[in-house]
């Protein structure tokens, strides 16, 4: 038998421990990612007459409730900004993140039909369910800009450039955690029941309701570095949003660095774990 | 030609027994860990789906894969299409693979036909530009031009399937893996898809075709691999492998019993006990040589005195079309009531009568005056009519597909005109 003139396009063999993340393959499947995001968005806005309204109303209602309880009654402070603006600027990334987290956790189990019948890099599924939240975020951002105009506040142009970075950070955190949780949820079907609890607790640990400066000054008062608070990567994302949209500089820069580092760690470990698990998804899901 | 497209070496796949039966929960796992801090639980039981499968397929070959349920056919396709990993062994794939394990994967009912074409195409691995280029062709092939902007939830099941097939049929990978997808859909459209697949084979594409449809396998694939219990049983020219397989007596659908009277088809007068297909009057078998007669047996129990009971059989082809009905005209029981007891009624189909393919037999028992149906089991048993092309059948020397549900051997005479 003469040896094949060209090396095989791919070799199928049992998974080994050390494996590459195969990013090039992911790039080749970018169109599928696009189509799955497009499907999720399209179906969501088609199915519910409320689709658009829901994306607008949910953060607005929450903002109103927060303003009533945390500003008027509890007086949590807002770095000198009008509290409705302050909380909405936090709610935008937070809602996007929490939706993305719960959607992506269930995404693999919900797509078992695809996983059993077609090959593609499975990371596309949780990634698509996170990215599908972007139009909602964009709609909510429109409301936010309306509110800015109402208050007569305008974020400086240079700060606004950081908005995409903050969105990217929120996406990355959601994807990092989403890869962990979605793969775990395939193996252990009760993971999804823990999600609402995780999301709720995480919100209280993030500067959504209250300003990050409250936590960082408390840390510094005890002789601890401020960046510790950045170990919660959503701190960086939420405060990054506030900086971009409101020009708020109350959060010390090391916090962002810590958040970015944790996010990279989450992404890498999540991707490794996911890649290791994905080879048997079709047998289990 | 001559280049290797697929080379599988000792592919094995085992499943943990529990994996398919019940899902684990994190809670149980954690509490299990707490209870067994040092030792490990008992070794999990495993099921072997493939136990060392090796074969080579050259570029441009069209190979059928057959075997009974559980022989590992689907697992093999899933491994080759990278949906799941083998437990050990390896396979080399030389070329872009398209796998068709199901039609309409990822179709969304809320989306329109147009949107689903793009979505499904992308899922099957087509590029956007490629879908755009073939879009009109796909729509025309599916015959859904007027409804292309309607949500597919409003489609009839036939339209839905046609659209799904059409997308799949326009896949142009170098290696195509197909699993049984042609088992559904209406007759004429199935034919269209088979023809399209034949074109695919001719275009130099490598095709692996898993199917239960023996006539289709023999027609489409020059070579067939028979899998049995997770290993390659036979590998060779299709007509030989297929007839060997069918002769081995699968018996899965050629006989059926209804041991539980409560669940058996029937009423207070009579109930069905068993059905059997005996090619050539012999053992129960699924495969029937086209040249030989086939006995269809119905065993039933008469429960009430004084009824003139007439057994009758209903024959359907694999597309579900009626071939014919046969009513018991045995003079021994003509207008004579059957006393309570067990009976076996047999009808003999002549050889060289039915065409190649699956024949589904419905069994009924009726009284005629007034007409009353005591049971009618629509898909009671089935068998395959095979023409091994060894001569003596109505196909003569013609090797291609012969259409039609019946294929009688007629007398031909040719005179030379003076």
Domain positions in chain B: 4-58+81-203, 255-386
All residue ranges of chain B with pLDDT < 70 are: 1-2, 17-24, 26, 28, 30-45, 69, 180-191, 194, 197-198, 200-202, 213-216, 246-253, 318-320
Rounded Cα distance, B34 and B45, in Å? 22
Q: Is A190 on the interface with B (CB under 8 A)?
A: yes
Q: Is A215 within the bounds of a domain?
A: yes
Interface contact flag, B25 A115, Cβ < 8 Å: no
The whole-number pLDDT of residue A277 equals 86
Question: Is the Cβ pair B106, A114 closer than 8 Å?
Answer: yes
Structurally, at CATH architecture level, domain B255-386 sits in Distorted Sandwich (2.70)
Full pLDDT tens readout for chain A, 285 residues = 444 445 566 777 775 544 566 777 888 889 999 999 999 888 888 766 666 777 778 888 888 888 888 887 877 777 778 888 899 999 999 999 999 999 999 999 989 888 988 889 999 999 999 999 999 899 888 888 888 888 887 767 677 788 899 999 999 999 999 999 999 998 888 888 899 999 999 999 999 999 888 888 899 899 899 899 999 999 999 999 888 888 877 778 899 999 999 999 999 999 999 988 888 788 877
Is A187–B88 a contact, with Cβ atoms under 8 angstroms apart? Answer: no
* The two three-digit tokens of residue A64, written as one number: 């109103």
- A245 close to A163: Cβ distance less than 8 angstroms: yes
**How many domains does one find in chain A?**
1
Examine residue A31 and state whether it is found in any structural domain, yes or no: yes
pLDDT reported for residue A49: 63
Q: In this prediction, does ipTM exceed 0.90?
A: no
| Residue A15 domain flag | no
User: How far, in Å, CA of B11 to CA of B230, rounded?
Assistant: 9
Query: In this structure, is residue A254 part of a structural domain?
Result: yes
Cross-chain Cβ contact A12/B125 below 8 Å: no
Q: What is the pTM of this model?
A: 0.73
d(CA A4, CA B94): 9
* Closest residue to B25, CB basis, from A15, A114, A189: A189
Return mean pLDDT, chain A. 86
8 Å CB contact between B194 and B226? no
Tally C-beta pairs within 8 A across A and B. 121
Nearest-CA distance B216 → chain A (Å): 23
**Phi, psi angles (nearest 5°) of residue B294:** -130, 130
Q: Which helix (H) or strand (E) holds B92?
A: strand B88-93
Tens-digit pLDDT profile for residues B181-227: 655 555 566 667 767 766 766 677 888 988 876 666 777 788 999 99
Give the architecture-level CATH label for domain B4-58+81-203: 3-Layer(aba) Sandwich (3.40)
The 3-state DSSP class for residue A252 equals coil
Beta strands in B239-335 (DSSP E): 255-257, 270-279, 287-289, 294-302, 310-317, 322-327
Residues of A in contact with B115 (CB under 8 A): 39, 42
- What does the pLDDT read at residue B97? 86
Q: Any residues with CB less than 8 A from the CB of B239 and at least 6 apart, and which?
A: B218, B388, B389
Nearest to B241 by CA among B280, B263, B211, B262: B211
Q: How far is CA B113 from the centre of its chain?
A: 28
Handedness of CA A181, A187, A193, A197 (dihedral sign): negative
Quick one: which of A156, A166, A147 has its CA closest to A207?
A166
Q: Does A217 reside within a domain?
A: yes
Instruction: Note the pLDDT of residue B215.
Output: 64
DSSP string, B362-409: EEEEEEETTEEEEEEEEEEEEEEEE---SSSSTTTT--S---SSB---
Contact A195, A181 (CB under 8 A): yes
pLDDT of the residue at B251: 39
Instruction: Provide the sign of the torsion angle of the four alpha carbons B283, B287, B293, B299, taken in this order.
Output: positive
What is the nearest CA distance from A170 to chain B, expressed in angstroms? 27
Most B CBs within 10 Å, among A111, A118, A125, to test the B interface: A118
Show the tokens assigned to B48. 């072997």
A12 lies in some domain: no
Which pLDDT belongs to residue A163?
A: 87
CB contacts under 8 A, A 36-95 vs B, are 38-39, 42-43, 46-47
Q: Which domain holds residue A278?
A: 23-41+48-284
In a domain, A18, yes or no: no
Kindly state whether residue A4 falls inside one of the protein's structural domains: no
Rg, C-alpha atoms of chain B = 26
């Amino acid at each position: 038998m003469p040896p094949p003139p060209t090396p095989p396009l791919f070799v199928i063999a049992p998974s080994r421990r050390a494996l590459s993340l195969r990013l090039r393959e992911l790039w080749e499947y970018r169109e599928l990612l696009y189509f799955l995001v497009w499907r999720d968005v399209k179906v969501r806005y088609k199915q519910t007459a409320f689709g658009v309204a829901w994306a607008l109303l949910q953060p607005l209602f929450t903002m109103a409730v927060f303003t009533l309880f945390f500003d008027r009654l509890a007086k949590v402070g807002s770095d000198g900004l009008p509290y409705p603006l302050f909380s909405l600027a936090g709610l935008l990334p937070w809602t996007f993140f929490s939706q993305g987290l719960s959607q992506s956790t269930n995404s693999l189990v919900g797509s078992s039909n695809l996983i059993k019948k077609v090959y593609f890099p499975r990371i596309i599924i949780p990634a698509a369910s996170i990215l599908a939240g972007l139009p909602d975020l964009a709609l909510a951002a429109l409301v936010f800009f309306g509110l800015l105009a109402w208050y007569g506040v305008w974020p400086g142009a240079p700060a606004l450039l950081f908005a995409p970075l903050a969105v990217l950070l929120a996406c990355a955190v959601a994807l990092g955690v989403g890869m962990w949780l979605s793969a775990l949820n395939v193996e252990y079907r009760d993971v999804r029941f823990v999600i609402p609890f995780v999301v709720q607790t995480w919100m209280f640990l993030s500067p959504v309701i209250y300003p990050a400066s409250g936590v960082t000054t408390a840390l510094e008062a005890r002789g601890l570095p401020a960046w510790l608070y950045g170990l919660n990567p959503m701190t960086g994302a939420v405060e990054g949003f506030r900086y971009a949209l409101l020009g708020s500089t109350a959060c010390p820069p090391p916090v962002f660095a810590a958040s970015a580092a944790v996010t990279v760690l989450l992404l890498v470990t999540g991707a490794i774990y996911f890649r290791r698990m994905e080879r048997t998804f079709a047998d289990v899901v | 030609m001559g280049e290797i497209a697929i080379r599988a070496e000792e592919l094995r796949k085992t499943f943990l027994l529990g994996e398919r039966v019940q899902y684990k929960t994190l809670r149980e796992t954690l509490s299990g860990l707490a209870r067994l801090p040092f030792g490990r639980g008992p070794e999990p039981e495993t099921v072997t789906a493939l136990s060392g499968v090796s074969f080579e397929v050259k570029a441009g070959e069209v190979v059928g894969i057959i075997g009974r349920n559980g022989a590992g056919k689907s697992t093999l396709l899933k491994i080759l299409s990278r949906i799941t990993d083998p437990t050990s062994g390896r396979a080399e794939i030389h070329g872009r693979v398209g796998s068709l394990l199901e039609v309409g994967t990822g179709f969304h009912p809320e989306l329109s036909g147009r949107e689903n074409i793009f979505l499904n195409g992308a899922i099957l691995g087509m590029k956007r530009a490629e879908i755009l280029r073939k879009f009109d062709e796909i729509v025309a092939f599916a015959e859904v031009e007027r409804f292309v902007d309607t949500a597919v939830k409003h489609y009839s099941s036939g339209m839905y399937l046609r659209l799904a097939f059409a997308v799949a049929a326009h896949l142009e990978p170098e290696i195509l893996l197909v699993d049984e997808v042609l088992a559904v859909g209406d007759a004429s459209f199935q034919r269209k898809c088979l023809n399209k697949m034949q074109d695919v084979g001719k275009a130099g594409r490598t095709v692996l075709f898993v199917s239960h449809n023996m006539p289709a396998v023999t027609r489409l694939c020059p070579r067939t691999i028979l899998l049995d219990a997770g290993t390659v049983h036979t590998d060779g020219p299709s007509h030989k492998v297929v007839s060997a397989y069918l002769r081995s007596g699968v018996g899965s659908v050629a006989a059926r019993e209804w041991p539980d009277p409560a669940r058996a088809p029937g009423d207070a007068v009579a109930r069905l006990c068993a059905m059997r297909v005996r090619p050539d009057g012999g053992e129960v078998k699924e495969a029937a040589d086209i040249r030989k007669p086939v006995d269809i047996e119905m065993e039933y129990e008469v429960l009430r005195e004084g009824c003139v009971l007439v057994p009758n059989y209903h024959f359907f082809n694999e597309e579900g079309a009626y071939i014919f009905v046969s009513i018991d005209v045995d003079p021994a029981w003509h207008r004579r009531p059957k006393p309570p007891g067990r009976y076996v009624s047999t009808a003999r189909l002549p050889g060289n009568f039915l065409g190649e393919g699956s024949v589904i037999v419905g069994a009924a028992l009726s009284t005629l005056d007034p007409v009353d149906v005591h049971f009618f089991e629509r898909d009671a048993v089935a068998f395959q009519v095979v023409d091994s092309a060894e001569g003596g059948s109505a196909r003569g020397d013609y090797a291609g597909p012969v259409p039609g549900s019946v294929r009688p051997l007629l007398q031909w005479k040719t005179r030379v005109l003076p």
